[in-house]
Amino acid sequence: MLSVNRANFCPRNSYQDFPQQIGYNATISAPHMHALALELLKDHLREGSKALDIGSGSGYLTKRPSDWHDHIKELVDLSISNINKHHSDLLMDGRLTMVTGDGRSGYKADAP
């Protein structure tokens, strides 16, 4: 988690341990929740792995692999904007794909 500065994705109270509004009735999760999620995924996500994150919100967890998904176009745009500020290589080299759609349907374009 230290490799990604949370302030680039959540400019106010970035490291306060509570969810924060990012617009469009969405929040960025509290830092401890991101830490828990990454801890649970660490043994499963490797270079070249694929993952589907539904409700990617601010784009903060994008240093982890693969396809991030949200159903609100403005949140996808926010994620892309935040990622482009400091980690544009993830989008440019195809390691990260941003999709607008209903996550309950999965992502058939890249499904197993």
At the topology level of CATH, where does 6-104 sit?
Rossmann fold (3.40.50)
Specify whether the CB–CB gap between 39 and 46 falls below 8 A.
no
pLDDT in tens, 78-110: 878 888 888 888 888 887 787 787 777 777 887
Q: Known catalytic residues?
A: 29
Q: What is the pTM of this model?
A: 0.57
User: From the CB of residue 70, how many other CB atoms can be counted at a distance below 10 Å?
Assistant: 25
For residue range 46-62, what is the model confidence (pLDDT) as tens digits? 767 777 777 767 777 76
Q: Can you give the pLDDT at residue 17? A: 93
User: Residue range 61-87: average pLDDT?
Assistant: 70
Specify the range with the lowest mean pLDDT, choosing from 1-15, 40-54, 76-90: 40-54
CB count in 10 Å sphere of residue 2: 5
The closest alpha carbon to 100, from 66, 71, 75, belongs to 71
Residue 86, C-beta contacts closer than 8 angstroms, at least 6 positions apart: 5, 8
Cα(100)–Cα(91) distance, rounded to whole angstroms? 15
- Domain ranges within the chain, ordered by starting residue: 6-104
